[in-house]
Every structure is written in structure tokens, then in C-alpha cells.
């Protein structure tokens, strides 16, 4: 048998085992078991499953044996971590079933549509967060079709992995077999969600229009609303939450902010660094993709510089991300400054952290090894990724569901100082964090 034939036969054997694994995973999904692979959701795809095993040097036969023996319900199991740590299926027990929670997306822009994709990507039998409606401003004829098309096609993230049908008669969309009502309103006070059969609703506000208790609280005055999650930094006493860092403080709060994409990208890494080395002070600069807030061509804008054409200019602007970190890590209050430059790319941004530490970090290699260990840990694997490629560029991270990708090749460290580079998909990575915060809010009743 030739080398080629041997490789082909081995590949076919692996593919057959991947099919068996997919069948087992599908059965677990019916038991409300969420199987992750080093913090990432496992796609029921032969190619994806084999790629994940090859990436981490794991044997698919071991995964199949583990999953076959797993007998649990209503829980999450990280298959990759279990194999890496040598755990047995018998060590895992049943979890607590999470009651289904009606979710309404108030606003359907960049973040709203990505949230919709994430919420609708699971099996129809999935429990937990249930996207039931979208609220947008009143519009003219053909609006439903345009909304559906924008969900289905995306210039940055590509085609939606599923089906989108327009239900004109019921003024909604059927996405992957599930109906989503489209509600037209100019203000939260106009809506009675119970009229649409919705109650105890979790509203995710993507408009950024209301950021304080008085404004965001309008949602709570709408009949049927129980809690509100803002996808922007909040003002006043509303908690700014970065999942993985301070989500345990949410409690029974009815108004919560998921902070900003940049705050979510830098806070987990700042947390692990501060806990180990102590951050004395520092400066954060974000090289940020342009957003819909900017103009396509030079025109009036209420903010300084943002009126200049976004696709043609690097635009210096402000960011509250550095100061917002202190809301998640109070010990860093007053220790960080921040600024931003918007650049002519549509997605994926880069945070540059210039930090002074209380303890010596010694060298670039030691600091990189420390971050690599955090990225591989079960505690931080969903937030922090690690890139060791000298060829990596921004488009490599489009679609990454890790909120921060540490670029090890760019690290500069000596004595008590370091300059670190952190990539982040400011749309997809941030949206995964929003979903996690929403799940905590739903679970807290």
C-alpha cells in the first residue's frame, strides 16, 4: 500500500469516527448538554471536528469513547479540557435546567444581527435564550425583505449558516424554522410585548440611544419586560459587566451593560496580568475598525474628526475603554489612560497595552508563556486566545468568538515594563460576550 493510500485510509477512518461523534453529540443536545471544545462550540461538521482534534493533537477515538460513556443532562461539558486533563465521563454529573427566556433585540444593526445569528445557530430544541422578536424603527414598504437580506448576507462575516424566510402575513421572519416577530416602534414606551404573547422578556438594547437609568429604564415600563441588557458602556449606577471578570456581581439586577467591545477585549488580559504582576499604571491605544457612527464621505458630524470619510482616513478619536476597565477591576481605577484611532478597515481591531508592573516580568518569552497558560486554562479559554504566527494579520481573526487574541510575536517586555498587542473581532467576539452576560441574567431569575 502506497503512502498516499495509507493517508487516505486513515483519513476515511477518522471521518467515520467523526460521523459517529456527531450522532452522539446530537443526542446529547436533545438532553440539553452543551459540549464545548476548549471553550468553543462544537459544530456538527466532520471537517470542523477533525480540524479541532488536529489543532490540539487529540485522538478522535478518545473523544468518541468519552462522549459515548457520558450520561448527563442540562449541563455544559468541555470535551477538549476533559481529554487534556485525563478526566473520565463518570466524573461529570447532571446540571440544572435553565428555563427558556424570551429575548427581544431592540435594534438590528451590526451587533443586533450578529446576536441574531448566534442565538439562532443552535438546534431548534435548544433551551435557554429564545429570540422571539426584533424591534426596529418604523419603515416603508419592503422593510422586512431588507432586514431578512441583511441577516442572511454580510459583507464581513459572509452568508448566514441557515435559512431565512420572510413571513409578510405575520410581519416577521422564519429563521432556521423559528418565527421571529418584527415590531416597529420609535420608543420602548410604545410597546406591549404581552400583546405578542411575550412575557418576562429580556431586552437586549443594541441602539446605544439610552445609556443611563432614566433612558434605559423606559424598557422596564413596557408591559412584559423583566430585564434589560445594553450593548454599550452605561452611565450612572448601571453595572458594566465583562463576562469572566465581574459577571458574578450581576445578581438580580434588571438593568445591566455589557460594556464596550474594546473594554471586553482588554479587561480579561489586564485581570490576569494585574493578579500576577500588579499593574502600576499604563496606557491603552486601540487601532479600531471604522463603525457606522462615522461618515462615508466628508460631512457634518457632531463629534470631532468623525465627520471625515471613514474609508479614506485614519481618524484620531476618544475611547472610554481604559477608564471603563476600572468598573470591572476597581483596583485599576485611575491607573490607565486610553485613546483611539479609527482606521479604514470594516472589522477587527487591535489594542496596544503599554504597561508598567509592580513586579518584574523578566522577559518577553516568560510573559508570553504566562499568557499562553492563561489562554489554555479552563477559566480563561473562552475569553483569551493566543497567536504565535509571524504572518498573522487582522483578517485572520474575522469571526473569532474569543474576545481577545494575544499576539505573542509582537510582545516587548523587559524588567517591569511591557508592550502587548491584542487583536479582537469587535463585532463577533464582543457579541459572544453579550450572549454570556444575557445567559447569566436569565439564569438569575
The mean pLDDT value for 55-73 works out to 92
Q: Which residue has the cell 443532562?
A: 73
Confidence of residue 65 (pLDDT cuts 50, 70, 90): very high
The mean pLDDT value for 162-191 works out to 94
Q: What is the pLDDT of residue 125?
A: 61
Q: Give the CB-side neighbour count of residue 72, counting CA atoms within 13 A.
A: 23
The mean pLDDT value for 67-80 works out to 92
Give which of 119, 102, 134 is closest to 207, Cα–Cα: 134
- pTM value surpassing 0.95: no
Confidence of residue 149 (pLDDT cuts 50, 70, 90): very high
What's the rounded Cα separation, in Å, for the pair 408 and 288? 20
Give which of 50, 8, 41, 59 is closest to 122, Cα–Cα: 41
**Could you say which of 103, 261, 408, 438 is catalytic?**
261
What's the rounded Cα separation, in Å, for the pair 355 and 278? 10
What's the rounded Cα separation, in Å, for the pair 439 and 122? 14
The domains of the chain, with CATH numbers, are 3-91 (no CATH), 101-232 (3.40.50.720), 261-429 (3.30.360.10)
What's the rounded Cα separation, in Å, for the pair 92 and 73? 10
With contact defined as beta carbons under 8 Å apart, do 211 and 217 qualify?
Answer: no
Examine the residue annotation and report whether 292 is marked as an active-site residue of this protein: no
Angle between helices 46-56 and 60-69 (to 10 degrees): 110
Q: Which residues contact 369 (CB under 8 A, 6 or more apart)?
A: none
pLDDT digits (tens, 9 = 90+) for 6-19: 778 888 989 999 99
With contact defined as beta carbons under 8 Å apart, do 286 and 338 qualify?
Answer: yes
Q: Is the pLDDT of residue 96 over 90?
A: no
Give the count of beta carbons closer than 10 Å to the beta carbon of residue 387. Answer: 20
Q: Give the CB-side neighbour count of residue 154, counting CA atoms within 13 A.
A: 22
Angle at 167 between CA 137 and CA 223, to 5 degrees: 50
- In the structure grid, which three cell numbers stand for residue 216, read together? 434605559
Angle at 61 between CA 60 and CA 65, to 5 degrees: 115
Give the count of beta carbons closer than 10 Å to the beta carbon of residue 216. Answer: 26
Length of the chain: 445
Confidence of residue 41 (pLDDT cuts 50, 70, 90): confident
pLDDT digits (tens, 9 = 90+) for 376-401: 999 999 999 999 999 999 999 999 99
pLDDT digits (tens, 9 = 90+) for 330-339: 999 999 999 9
The mean pLDDT value for 294-315 works out to 93
Which comes out higher in pLDDT, residue 126 or 144? 144
Give which of 228, 288, 282, 280 is closest to 258, Cα–Cα: 228
Q: Is the pLDDT of residue 265 over 90?
A: yes
The H or E element containing residue 104 is strand 101-106
User: CB under 8 Å, gap of 24 or more: what pairs does 55-61 form?
Assistant: 56/80, 56/84, 58/83, 58/84, 60/14, 60/17, 60/18, 60/21, 61/17
What's the rounded Cα separation, in Å, for the pair 312 and 294? 11
Give the count of beta carbons closer than 10 Å to the beta carbon of residue 258. Answer: 30
Q: For residue 192, give the DSSP letter.
A: B
Angle at 205 between CA 172 and CA 175, to 5 degrees: 30
The mean pLDDT value for 58-71 works out to 93
With contact defined as beta carbons under 8 Å apart, do 32 and 77 qualify?
Answer: no
Cα 113 to the chain's mean position, in Å?
Answer: 13
The whole-chain average pLDDT of the chain stands at 93
Amino acid at each position: 500500500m502506497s503512502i498516499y493510500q495509507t493517508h487516505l485510509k486513515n483519513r476515511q477512518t477518522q471521518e467515520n469516527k467523526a460521523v459517529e461523534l456527531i450522532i452522539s453529540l446530537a443526542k446529547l443536545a436533545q438532553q440539553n448538554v452543551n459540549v464545548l471544545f476548549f471553550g468553543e462550540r462544537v459544530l456538527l461538521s466532520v471537517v470542523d471536528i477533525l480540524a479541532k482534534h488536529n489543532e490540539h493533537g487529540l485522538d478522535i477515538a478518545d473523544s468518541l469513547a468519552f462522549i459515548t460513556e457520558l450520561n448527563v443532562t442540562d449541563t455544559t461539558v468541555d470535551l477538549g479540557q476533559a481529554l487534556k486533563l485525563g478526566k473520565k465521563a463518570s466524573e461529570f454529573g447532571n446540571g440544572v435546567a435553565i428555563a427558556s427566556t424570551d429575548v427581544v433585540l431592540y435594534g438590528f444593526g451590526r451587533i443586533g444581527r450578529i446576536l441574531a445569528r448566534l442565538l439562532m445557530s443552535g438546534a431548534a430544541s435548544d433551551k435557554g435564550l429564545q429570540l422571539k422578536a426584533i424591534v426596529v424603527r418604523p419603515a416603508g414598504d419592503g422593510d422586512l425583505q431588507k432586514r431578512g437580506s441583511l441577516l442572511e448576507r454580510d459583507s464581513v462575516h459572509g452568508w448566514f449558516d441557515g435559512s431565512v424566510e420572510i413571513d409578510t402575513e405575520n410581519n416577521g421572519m422564519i429563521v432556521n424554522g423559528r418565527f421571529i416577530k418584527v415590531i416597529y416602534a420609535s420608543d420602548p414606551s410604545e410597546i406591549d410585548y404581552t400583546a405578542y404573547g411575550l412575557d418576562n422578556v429580556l431586552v437586549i438594547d443594541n441602539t446605544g440611544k439610552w445609556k443611563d437609568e432614566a433612558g434605559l429604564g423606559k424598557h422596564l415600563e413596557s408591559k412584559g419586560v423583566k430585564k434589560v441588557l445594553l450593548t454599550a458602556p452605561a452611565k450612572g449606577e448601571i453595572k458594566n459587566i465583562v463576562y469572566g471578570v465581574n459577571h458574578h456581581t450581576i445578581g438580580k439586577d434588571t438593568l445591566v451593560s455589557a460594556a464596550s467591545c474594546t473594554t471586553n477585549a482588554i479587561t480579561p488580559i489586564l485581570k490576569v496580568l494585574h493578579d500576577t504582576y500588579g499593574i502600576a499604571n499604563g496606557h491603552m491605544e486601540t487601532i479600531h475598525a471604522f463603525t457606522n457612527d462615522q461618515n462615508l464621505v466628508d460631512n457634518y458630524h457632531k463629534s470631532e474628526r468623525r465627520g471625515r470619510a471613514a474609508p479614506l482616513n485614519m481618524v484620531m478619536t476618544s475611547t472610554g475603554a481604559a477608564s471603563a476597565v476600572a468598573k470591572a477591576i476597581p483596583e485599576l481605577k485611575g491607573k490607565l489612560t486610553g485613546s483611539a484611532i479609527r482606521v479604514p478597515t470594516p472589522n477587527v481591531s487591535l489594542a496596544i497595552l503599554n504597561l508598567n508592573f509592580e513586579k518584574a516580568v523578566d522577559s518577553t518569552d516568560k510573559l508570553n508563556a504566562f499568557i499562553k497558560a492563561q489562554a489554555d486554562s479552563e477559566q480563561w479559554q473562552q475569553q483569551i486566545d493566543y497567536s504565535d504566527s509571524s504572518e498573522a494579520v487582522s483578517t485572520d481573526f474575522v469571526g473569532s468568538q474569543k474576545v481577545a487574541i494575544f499576539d505573542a510575536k509582537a510582545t516587548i517586555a523587559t524588567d517591569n515594563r511591557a508592550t502587548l498587542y491584542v487583536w479582537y473581532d469587535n463585532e463577533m467576539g464582543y457579541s459572544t460576550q453579550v450572549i454570556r452576560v444575557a445567559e447569566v441574567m436569565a439564569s438569575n431569575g
